[in-house]
Amino acid sequence: MKRTARETEEVAHTLNRRTLMLGGAMGAVVAVLGVRMRYLQVDQADEFKLLAEENRINIRLVPPERGLIHDRNGKLIAANEQNYRVVITREAAGDADLVLRRLAEIIPIPPEELERSIQEVNALRAFVPVTVAERLSWDDFSKVALNAPALPGVVPEVGHSRRYPLDFDFAHVVGYVGPVSEKDLEALETPDPLLKIPKFQIGKIGVEKWMEDTLRGRAGTKRIEVNSAGRVMRELEREEGDPGTDIRLTIDSGVQNFAQARLGEESAAVVVLDVTNGDIICAASSPSFDPNLFVRGISHTDYNVLMEDDHRPLANKAVSGAYPPGSTFKMVTALAALEAGVVTPDTRVRCPGYIEFGGRRFHCWKHEGHGTVSLERSLTESCDVFYYDIAQKVGIDKIAEMGRKLGLGQRFDIPMSAVTDGTMPDRQWKLERHKAEWRIGDTINSSIGQGYVLTSPLQLAVMTARIASGRAVVPRLVRMVNDKELPVPEMPPLAITAEYLAAIRQGMNMVVNGEKGTAKSSRIVEPTLAMAGKTGTSQVRNITAAERAAGVISNDDLPWNRRDHALFVGFAPFDAPRYAVSVVVEHGGGGSTAAAPICRDVILRAMSDGLPPLDAYPASQRSRIESMLNDLPLRDPVTGLTPLRIRA
Q: How confident is the model at residue 425 (pLDDT cuts 50, 70, 90)?
A: very high
What's the average model confidence in pLDDT over 202-218? 95
* Per-residue pLDDT at 647 exceeds 50: no
Residue 582 carries which side chain, given as an amino acid letter?
A: S
Of 486 and 643, which is predicted with more confidence?
486
Alpha-carbon distance 192 to 206, whole Å? 20
Alpha-carbon distance 359 to 532, whole Å? 38
Predicted local confidence at residue 102, as pLDDT: 86
Of 143 and 31, which is predicted with more confidence?
143
Predicted local confidence at residue 152, as pLDDT: 84
The runs of H, that is alpha helices, within 395-476 are 396-405, 427-434, 440-447, 457-469
Mean of pLDDT over the chain:
88
For domain 81-165, which CATH number applies: 3.40.50.800, 3.90.1310.10, 1.20.120.1780, 3.40.50.300?
3.90.1310.10
Alpha-carbon distance 84 to 107, whole Å? 13
Predicted local confidence at residue 72, as pLDDT: 96
Alpha-carbon distance 281 to 254, whole Å? 10
Q: How confident is the model at residue 648 (pLDDT cuts 50, 70, 90)?
A: very low
Which of the 8 DSSP states describes residue 616?
G
What's the average model confidence in pLDDT over 172-178? 96
What's the average model confidence in pLDDT over 58-76? 87
In tens, the pLDDT along 177-197 reads 998 888 888 888 788 888 877
Predicted local confidence at residue 54, as pLDDT: 47
Cis peptide before 243 (omega within 30 of 0): no
What's the average model confidence in pLDDT over 83-100? 82
Predicted local confidence at residue 538, as pLDDT: 87
CB 71 within 8 A of CB 249: yes
CB 319 within 8 A of CB 414: yes
Alpha-carbon distance 101 to 122, whole Å? 14
CB 442 within 8 A of CB 433: no
Q: How confident is the model at residue 280 (pLDDT cuts 50, 70, 90)?
A: very high
Bridge partners of 283, per DSSP, are: 271
Q: How confident is the model at residue 546 (pLDDT cuts 50, 70, 90)?
A: low
* Per-residue pLDDT at 74 exceeds 80: yes
* Per-residue pLDDT at 556 exceeds 90: no
Instruction: Note the maximum CA span of the chain.
Output: 153
- Give the pairing type, strands 354-357 and 348-351: unpaired
* Per-residue pLDDT at 646 exceeds 60: no
Of 297 and 250, which is predicted with more confidence?
250
Predicted local confidence at residue 149, as pLDDT: 80
Q: How confident is the model at residue 644 (pLDDT cuts 50, 70, 90)?
A: very low
Predicted local confidence at residue 528, as pLDDT: 97
What's the average model confidence in pLDDT over 7-12? 62
Kindly report which listed range (218-222, 315-319, 375-379) carries the lowest average pLDDT score.
218-222
* Per-residue pLDDT at 234 exceeds 80: no
Share of the chain above pLDDT 70, in %: 85
Which residues, at least 6 apart from 363, have a Cβ–Cβ distance to it below 8 Å?
Answer: 353, 354, 384, 548
Which of the 8 DSSP states describes residue 60?
E
* Per-residue pLDDT at 110 exceeds 90: no
Of 133 and 497, which is predicted with more confidence?
497
What's the average model confidence in pLDDT over 516-520? 97
Bridge partners of 480, per DSSP, are: 248, 485
Alpha-carbon distance 219 to 222, whole Å? 10
Q: How confident is the model at residue 555 (pLDDT cuts 50, 70, 90)?
A: confident
* Per-residue pLDDT at 296 exceeds 50: yes
* Per-residue pLDDT at 379 exceeds 50: yes
For residue 479, the Cα-to-chain-centroid distance in whole angstroms is 16
Alpha-carbon distance 210 to 247, whole Å? 12
Using only the alpha carbons of the chain, give its radius of gyration.
36
Which residues, at least 6 apart from 620, have a Cβ–Cβ distance to it below 8 Å?
Answer: none
What's the average model confidence in pLDDT over 219-225? 74
Domain borders along the chain are: 81-165
Alpha-carbon distance 326 to 33, whole Å? 93
Of 184 and 531, which is predicted with more confidence?
531
Question: Residue 238: helix, strand or coil by DSSP?
Answer: strand
Predicted local confidence at residue 13, as pLDDT: 64
DSSP-derived secondary structure for 265-313: TSSEEEEEEETTT-BEEEEEEES---THHHHH---HHHHHHHHH-TT-T
Alpha-carbon distance 519 to 532, whole Å? 9
Indicate the Cα dihedral angle 464, 467, 471, 477, nearest 10°: 0
Residue 163 carries which side chain, given as an amino acid letter?
A: R
Alpha-carbon distance 285 to 543, whole Å? 29
Of 639 and 189, which is predicted with more confidence?
189
Q: How confident is the model at residue 571 (pLDDT cuts 50, 70, 90)?
A: very high
* Per-residue pLDDT at 51 exceeds 50: no
What's the average model confidence in pLDDT over 342-346? 96
* Per-residue pLDDT at 633 exceeds 70: yes
Predicted local confidence at residue 114, as pLDDT: 83
CB 632 within 8 A of CB 261: yes
Q: For residue 286, indicate whether it is catalytic.
A: no
Predicted local confidence at residue 136, as pLDDT: 84
Cis peptide before 618 (omega within 30 of 0): no
Q: How confident is the model at residue 359 (pLDDT cuts 50, 70, 90)?
A: confident
For residue 319, the Cα-to-chain-centroid distance in whole angstroms is 9
What's the average model confidence in pLDDT over 608-629? 96
Of 159 and 413, which is predicted with more confidence?
413
What's the average model confidence in pLDDT over 542-552? 62
Q: How confident is the model at residue 240 (pLDDT cuts 50, 70, 90)?
A: confident
Predicted local confidence at residue 639, as pLDDT: 64
Cis peptide before 487 (omega within 30 of 0): no
Predicted local confidence at residue 237, as pLDDT: 74
Predicted local confidence at residue 58, as pLDDT: 63
For residue 629, the Cα-to-chain-centroid distance in whole angstroms is 28
* Per-residue pLDDT at 232 exceeds 60: no
What's the average model confidence in pLDDT over 524-550? 82
Instruction: Please name which of 243, 295, 230, 190 lies closest in space to residue 60, comparing C-alpha atoms.
Output: 230
In tens, the pLDDT along 242-277 reads 899 999 999 999 999 999 999 999 999 999 999 999
Of 22 and 58, which is predicted with more confidence?
22
Question: Residue 54: helix, strand or coil by DSSP?
Answer: helix
Q: Say which of 267, 285, 320, 327 is annotated catalytic.
A: 327
